[in-house]
Amino acid sequence: MKDINSGSIRTFEDMTFGASDIVITTHMKPDGDAIGSSVAMYRFLKDNGKSPKIVINDSYPPYLSFLITPEMSDDLIIRTEDPQEADGLILGSDLIICLDFNAFHRTDGLEASLKEANGRKILIDHHLNPSREAFDLSFSETEVSSASELLYHILINTSAAGGDAARLGRKCAEAIMTGMTTDTNNFANSVYPSTLHMASDLLAAGVDREMILNCIYNQYGENRLRLLGHIMKDLLKTTPDGVAYIVLDKETLNRYNVAEGDTEGFVNMPLSIARIRMSILIKEDGDRVRVSIRSKRGTSANMCARRFFNGGGHENAAGGRLYIPDDIKGIEEAGDYIERNTHIFLNNE
Ligand code: 5GP
Ligand code: MN
């Protein structure tokens, strides 16, 4: 890993242990890797005598609440609930650690204060096209499963851990295992030799993987499975080009009482069809239209997201959004938009 060496680890240690007001932050609508890496960083710093805060734009989905223990509640600030405190902490900090995103706009409401903040900034991320110029120190590797895995390789090399996963602390280790597990879809995608080494070391150090899997995958409401049935029977569309897509409008989301996180994993499922090369899930979210894209090897979800969906991400897992009225007049046009533009994309037009 090109960004991890004794020099960069030393700089990381100097910057973190020399700072007094540390903010940890991650992308909007945080997922398992965003929360997992943020909590792991938090735990590591706490275990080493620091008092960091985690500042995020939106709340986290309920299936991740096992990582946020009650005594952490004063140290986790959500901007949509308390904008003044969130912005104040970012502007008043002397170190900001940015996890699992490649550019400030990915934090949505935190973007303005992150840009304005004078504190030093560290990037720890695994997405393509990082804005390195915005950071004082960057760890950006795309050949890892997750930001959580990248953070593991950094932390394990600090003098506090001395190469021993057991010295990371159980809660830190559990958070890392959680982020890696969700970003790889439970070891289905983006698994590298380093990922399995890390998972093995964390298990040997006592991480309870069964507990983590139970929290992540077995705590949903019945509504989620009912929605999945409706989607697969009635809403899933496929095109002659080998694209599968699902449009979830507000009415459907309300009818099934869908909460953030309830549609996690759905976008991957149509890839199980042999002729499908790319799968797209569209979700109406307030006045926004959010897009998730997954692709098989040989088709770039990242390029498709960048070119047609105002976004980006990884080669085979990306996301973005559609703007109303610039891209589509309303959610009812999303299907046509997808069919037209994926046809152009997949036929090199
Ligand atoms: P998901 O579909 O799980 O929301 O996101 C898949 C991947 O695409 C994640 O790595 C995420 O960071 C990235 N991604 C999602 N939405 C956007 C977006 O609006 N812009 C960019 N640049 N990346 C996104
Ligand atoms: Mn990630």
Q: What is the pLDDT of residues 306-315, one digit of tens each?
A: 999 999 999 9
- Spatial CB neighbours of 239, under 8 Å, sequence gap ≥ 6: 245, 339, 342, 343
Ligand closest to Cα of 106 equals 1
Separation CA 94–CA 3 (nearest Å): 23
What's the rounded Cα separation, in Å, for the pair 87 and 143?
Answer: 33
3-state secondary structure of 98: strand
Q: Whose CA is nearest to atom 20 of ligand 1?
A: 311
Q: What is the pLDDT of residue 21?
A: 98
Atom of ligand 1 minimally distant from the CA of 129? 22
Distance 308 CA to ligand 2 centre (A): 22
Low-confidence ranges of the chain (pLDDT < 50): none
* CA end-to-end span of the chain: 36
> How far, in Å, CA of 79 to CA of 312, rounded?
24
Q: Which atom of ligand 1 is nearest to the CA of 314?
A: 10
Q: What is the pLDDT of residue 126?
A: 98
Residues 6+ apart with CB under 8 A from 305: 291, 293, 311, 312, 313, 318, 319, 320
Centre of ligand 1 from the C-alpha of residue 34, in Å: 11
What ligand 1 atom has the least distance to the C-alpha of 103? 22
Any idea of the CA torsion for 328, 331, 333, 335, to the nearest 10 degrees? 120
Which of 261, 295, 195 lies closest to 32, judged by CA?
A: 261
Which residues are CB-contacts of 115 (< 8 A; sequence separation ≥ 6)? 104, 134
Ligand index nearest the alpha carbon of residue 105: 1
* Cα 214 from Cα 181, distance rounded (Å): 12
For ligand 1, atom 13: residue with the closest CA: 313
Instruction: Give residue ranges with CB within 6 A of ligand 1.
Output: 27, 31, 106, 127, 292, 311-314, 317-321
Per-residue pLDDT tens over the stretch 179-194 = 999 999 999 999 999 9
What gap in Å lies between CA 57 and CA 72, rounded to an integer?
Answer: 17
Residue-level pLDDT at 90: 98
Q: What angle do CA 179, 47, 83 make, to 5 degrees?
A: 65
Query: What confidence tens digit (pLDDT) does each residue in 25-68 have?
Result: 999 999 999 999 999 999 999 999 999 999 999 999 999 999 99
**What CA–CA distance (Å, rounded) separates 238 from 228?**
16
Please tell me the number of the ligand nearest to residue 29's CA.
Answer: 1
Q: What pLDDT, on the 0 to 100 scale, is given for residue 102? A: 96
